[in-house]
């Protein structure tokens, strides 16, 4: 049996029909730039996140960059974030001219709120937690810290669309929240897309301006920016995907529960706090002998990923630029392994992945 990490081809006939119809609709009305599907997509996203506004952009990276700039974050400011994320999180901060300040994570791979307060300086402007793997950070504590110290909160919810905890849904906590809808994500486009949500009309207006060259009425540039507009075709395809998002998430959650039942004795499996519902963008286990296991799985035709093998401050672009005290992240990054968990997996595939992992560890113990 061969188990790919993710299969992006569309084999479901009905889904393909709906996607092609969505493309056909856009080609027929011809309003391909900021077309009506974008407004419909933005309205739906805002409603699902319980926010007043959503602004579609061309990627999750752009969502972060546009958000930070719309909040006036720039040179001289510090933004507290996690070291464990896709590099886009740090890049977006750095490209505004601000400085990322990396604080350690908890064993669940999310930022450790207890470490945030000691990282606050007079220059700190914002906290940027990442809901890593699709699980919401401890937003109650982070929100309380932000209130006490007068800081902004920007959620990097790129991996966590529709994730919940007992206080709310991803995207409902920060001043703004950013999502990625790239092709790998749980709610995904067929290429690149992103969106930002907020309740603040002023911020929304700034983001609309920043996403198109910093213009007002798409004419006069009032603040230099680039072009971050979402494509109408991607919004149209996302509207189709939105119709099946509940099914996708429940399937991923079902597979996650199945994995946990089988693997909990040999791996640290993702843990859900009471009342929280991860969307399992990745099913990331933490294991001993990670690299050996990965080779063993590859030899058994099971594709896995390491998300992400280099902690953000240690990328070549930043190595040595930022002081770090992140022992938990440094250990975790040696042990994480994302195993296949997507809605198109069959039960046989899930069992094959789990039994191959168990087989690997039974040989280790023997
Ligand atoms: C946590 C996180 N932030 C930001 C991004 C950037 O999103 P995009 O790839 O849509 O630019 C990603 C994408 O993988 C991500 O996982």
Atom of ligand 1 nearest to the CA of 307: 16
Pocket test for ligand 1, best of 6, 56, 59, 60 (most atoms within 8 A of CB): 60
Query: Is pLDDT of 311 > 80?
Result: yes
Query: Is pLDDT of 41 > 90?
Result: yes
- The whole-number pLDDT of residue 299 equals 98
- The whole-number pLDDT of residue 320 equals 84
- The whole-number pLDDT of residue 294 equals 98
How many angstroms separate the alpha carbon of residue 152 from the centre of ligand 1? 20
**Domains located in the chain, CATH noted:** 13-243 (3.40.640.10), 246-365 (3.90.1150.10)
Pocket test for ligand 1, best of 159, 187, 188 (most atoms within 8 A of CB): 159
How many angstroms separate the alpha carbon of residue 161 from the centre of ligand 1? 12
How many angstroms separate the alpha carbon of residue 182 from the centre of ligand 1? 8
Q: What percent of the chain has pLDDT over 90?
A: 97
Atom of ligand 1 nearest to the CA of 131: 1
Nearest CA among 193, 189, 212 for reference residue 70: 212
Per-residue pLDDT band for 319 (boundaries 50, 70, 90) equals confident
Backbone φ, ψ for residue 53 (5° rounding): -130, 150
The string of pLDDT tens digits covering residues 228-252 is 999 999 999 999 999 999 999 999 9
- The whole-number pLDDT of residue 259 equals 98
- The whole-number pLDDT of residue 366 equals 61
Atom of ligand 1 nearest to the CA of 64: 4
Is there a contact between 111 and 159 (Cβ–Cβ < 8 Å)? no
Three-state SS string over the chain comes to CCECCCCCCCCCHHHHHHHHHHHHHHHHHCCCCCCHHHHHHHHHHHHHHCCCEEEEECCHHHHHHHHHHHCCCCCCCEEEECCCCCCHHHHHHHHCCCEEEECCECCCCCECHHHCHHHCCCCEEEEECECHHHCCCCHHHHHHHHHHHCCEEEEECCCCCCCEECCEECCCCCCEEEEECCCCCCCCCCCCCEEEEECCHHHHHHHHHHCECCEECCCEECCCCCECECCHHHHHHHHHHHHCHHHHHHHHHHHHHHHHHHHCCCCECCCCCCCCECCCCCEEEECCCHHHHHHHHHHCCECCECCCCCCHHHCCCCCCCCCCCCHHHHHHCCCEEEECCCCCCCHHHHHHHHHHHHHHHHHHHC
- The whole-number pLDDT of residue 218 equals 85
CA 212 to chain centre: 23
The string of pLDDT tens digits covering residues 267-310 is 999 999 899 999 999 999 999 999 999 999 999 999 999 999 99
Q: Specify the length of the chain in residues.
A: 366
Atom of ligand 1 nearest to the CA of 192: 10
Q: What percent of the chain has pLDDT over 70?
A: 99
Query: Is pLDDT of 26 > 80?
Result: yes
- The reported pTM is 0.98
> What's the rounded mean pLDDT across residues 329-347?
96
Pocket test for ligand 1, best of 56, 59, 65, 88 (most atoms within 8 A of CB): 88
Residues with CB under 6 A from ligand 1: 59-61, 85-86, 88-89, 130, 156, 158-159, 180, 182, 192, 194
Per-residue pLDDT band for 55 (boundaries 50, 70, 90) equals very high
Question: Which residue's entry shows tokens 């040179």?
Answer: 75
Per-residue pLDDT band for 72 (boundaries 50, 70, 90) equals very high
Pocket test for ligand 1, best of 180, 195, 230 (most atoms within 8 A of CB): 180
Query: Is pLDDT of 361 > 90?
Result: yes
The string of pLDDT tens digits covering residues 129-146 is 999 999 999 999 999 999
């Amino acid at each position: 049996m061969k188990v790919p990490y993710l299969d992006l081809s569309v084999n479901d006939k009905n889904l393909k029909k709906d996607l092609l119809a969505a493309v056909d609709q856009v080609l027929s009305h011809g309003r391909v730039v900021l077309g009506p599907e974008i407004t419909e997509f933005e309205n739906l996203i805002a409603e699902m996140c319980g926010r007043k506004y959503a602004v579609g952009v061309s990627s999750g990276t752009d969502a972060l960059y546009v958000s930070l700039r719309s909040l006036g974050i720039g040179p001289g400011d510090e933004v507290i974030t996690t070291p464990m994320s896709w590099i886009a999180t740090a890049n977006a901060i750095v490209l505004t001219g601000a400085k990322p300040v990396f604080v350690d994570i908890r064993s669940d791979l999310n930022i450790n709120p207890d470490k945030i307060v000691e990282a606050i300086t007079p220059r700190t402007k914002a906290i940027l937690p990442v809901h890593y793997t699709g699980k919401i950070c401890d937003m109650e504590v982070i929100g309380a810290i932000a209130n006490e110290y007068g800081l902004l909160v920007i959620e990097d919810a790129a991996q966590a669309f529709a994730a919940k905890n007992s206080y709310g849904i991803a995207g409902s906590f920060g001043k703004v929240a950013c999502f990625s809808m790239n092709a790998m994500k749980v709610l995904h486009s067929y290429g690149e897309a992103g969106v930002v949500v907020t309740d603040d009309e002023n911020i929304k207006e700034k983001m609309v301006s920043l996403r198109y060259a910093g213009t007002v009425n798409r004419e006069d540039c009032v603040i230099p920016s680039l072009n971050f507009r979402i494509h109408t075709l991607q919004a149209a395809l996302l509207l189709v995907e939105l119709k099946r998002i509940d099914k996708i998430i429940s399937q991923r959650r079902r597979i996650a529960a199945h994995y946990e039942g089988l693997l909990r004795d040999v791996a640290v499996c993702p843990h859900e706090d009471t009342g929280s519902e991860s969307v399992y963008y990745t099913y990331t286990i933490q294991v001993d002998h990670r690299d050996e296991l990965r080779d063993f799985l590859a030899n058994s035709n099971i594709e896995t990923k390491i998300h992400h093998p280099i902690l953000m401050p240690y990328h070549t672009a930043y190595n040595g630029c930022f002081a770090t005290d992140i022992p938990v992240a440094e250990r975790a990054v040696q042990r994480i392994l994302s195993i296949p968990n997507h809605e198109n997996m069959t039960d046989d595939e899930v069992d094959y992945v789990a039994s191959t992992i168990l087989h690997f560890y039974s040989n280790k113990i023997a």
